[in-house]
Amino acid sequence: MSTSIAPARRRVYPSLTAAWLPLGALCLAFFVEMVDNTLMSIALPTIGRDLGGDTTSLQWVSGAYSLTFGGLLLTAGSIADRFGRRRVLQIGLAAFGILSLGVLVVSTTGQLIALRAALGIAAAAMAPITNSLVFRLFDDDTLRMRAMTIMIVVGMSGFVLGPLLGGTVLTHFSWHWLLLVNAPIALLAAIGVHFGVAPDRADGLTRDRLDIAGAVLSILTIGLACYTFTSAVENGWSSPLTIGAIVGAALGLVGFIWRERTATAPMLDLSLFRNGTVRGSTIAQVGTSIAMTGVMFTLILHFQYAWGWSPMQAGFANLPIITTMFAATPISEGLASRFGHRIAAFVGAIFIVIGLLAMAWGVEHGYLAIAVAMVVMTIGLRTVMTICAVALVGAMPENRTSMGAALNDTAQEVGTSVGTAVVGTLIAVLVTTMLPDGVWSPELVASYFAGERTIFIVLAVAVGILSIWGSLTLTNSRDVDEHPAPAEAAP
């Protein structure tokens, strides 16, 4: 039987204004780790000319970060719940900043890939902790919702604006600055965390031993699962690499479940998934990330190649998503307070589906039609993502909040990989296996528009099933219940 610890009274803030220092620091940390997911994509041709390397190796400059980041989220959350959330976050920020300076000595594509993989490890030590600590800054549910909204908007802004910021930097500076800029941002975030976030008390952590075997199996399973979708886009679903990754991920999952069911102190207590809030929030978050990534992937090609816009124009074209994330706050908060989490998330899921279907219609009706569809979809994303993030962390035991945030982030990372793979596969099947650079022919543009309609319809069906299914398993709570007692380990 594991040692259970009574929750300690923690430092909380009465308003967002009072929490400006820790909230700002945590937003900086979340922004820098999210922007690095997409920041380098626009620089790949420049990096290729500078360092050499074939197309596959250049794709791994971006893919290595996502692979280690997604694979280590659960492990990082588990470590933070044992050794201190603030401490692990500070270590992650320090490592992220120092490693970013390593770009100064990079001379080959292989070295850059290794550096990006190391940055993904450092980012994994930051992501679940930032969300967990934001949740713990407040006791009031409305403040938690608003703080989570700020975090989600900041994170999605980083994800969406990565190519735009990258293109702007490349216009005036070397591609090395895309990583060098991380160092001062990480330093500022670390200073804010040091002075604004109180250290964890020992009785607010778990004393269970770290489940090393479970951690290794989770890294193997999630890493291979993410690589499966990357390989499917690059090599096809029938390639030996893709099939091997599928088999490896399946075996890893079986091993992980067996380990967590039999371990005295499991890394992830699987009994938590009997809770509809935990189960439903996780499922719904996978759906929201599939929608977000699928739309971003498809529209980047639409704006830059089918319409011939510059990277900067394409980046600004995504602003309706960011502005709606902020503007939809009264809608999502009003739905949650009046109808409860279940109905509010269900309504949000319907908005996502309507937005995706509207986008299928709007691809041949100009930017205004696409922008309106973005707004409708983002109202739904804003509602589902925030409610599920707050509900999931709130449903976890007090000494497992980082694990709850890690589970939320892992679901989103898996959804990101699935969304990319689904869209990439559909483009290959419906349009062409090799999209040319430069101006597209009218025939290719027409073919791409037709493929887009099918892609958005497929996304609407898939995301609708996941998001609606997940939302209907939530409770009707109008606020976030205080954390249940710390979970006992399985005998």
User: Is 182 in the same domain as 228?
Assistant: no
Containing domain of residue 105, as a range? 14-208
Q: Which among 174, 208, 242 is the end of a domain?
A: 208
Q: What is the pLDDT of residues 243-263, one digit of tens each?
A: 999 999 999 999 999 998 888
Instruction: List the structure tokens of 378.
Output: 């983002």
491 pLDDT band, cuts 50/70/90, is very low
On the question of pLDDT at 482 being above 80, the answer is no
User: Is 77 in the same domain as 194?
Assistant: yes
DSSP structure string for 289-353: HHHHHHHHHHHHHIIIIIS---HHHHHHHTHHHHHHHHHTHHHHHHHHHHH-HHHHHHHHHHHHH
Distance CA 160, CA 286 (A): 18
Q: Which pLDDT value is given to residue 6?
A: 43
State mean pLDDT over 73-87. Answer: 84
Q: What is the dihedral of CA 420, 377, 362, 437, to 10 degrees?
A: -30
Q: Which pLDDT value is given to residue 52?
A: 74
**8 A C-beta contact, residue 399 and residue 81:** yes
Q: Which amino acid is at 49?
A: R
Q: Which pLDDT value is given to residue 1?
A: 40
Residues in the chain, how many?
Answer: 491
On the question of pLDDT at 156 being above 90, the answer is no
User: Is 286 in the same domain as 422?
Assistant: yes
Rg of the chain, C-alpha, whole Å:
21
Domain count, the chain: 3
User: Is 75 in the same domain as 138?
Assistant: yes
Distance (Å) of CA 204 to CA 272, 405, 485: 19, 16, 11
Q: Which among 237, 266, 295 is the end of a domain?
A: 266
User: Is 307 in the same domain as 409?
Assistant: yes
User: Is 314 in the same domain as 377?
Assistant: yes
Q: What is the pLDDT of residues 4-35, one digit of tens each?
A: 444 445 577 888 888 899 899 999 888 888 78
Distance CA 127, CA 52 (A): 32
Q: What is the pLDDT of residues 316-330, one digit of tens each?
A: 888 898 888 878 878
Inside any domain, residue 2? no
User: Is 195 in the same domain as 300?
Assistant: no
State mean pLDDT over 334-350. Answer: 89
Distance CA 364, CA 379 (A): 23
User: Is 255 in the same domain as 279?
Assistant: no
How many other CB atoms are found less than 10 A from the CB of residue 353?
Answer: 21
Q: What is the pLDDT of residues 424-464, one digit of tens each?
A: 778 877 877 566 666 677 888 888 888 889 999 999 999 99
DSSP structure string for 136-167: HT-SSHHHHHHHHHHHHHHHHHHHHHHHHHHH
Q: Mean pLDDT, the chain, as a whole number?
A: 82
Q: What percent of the chain has pLDDT over 70?
A: 89
Inside any domain, residue 252? yes
More confident residue, 287 or 317: 287
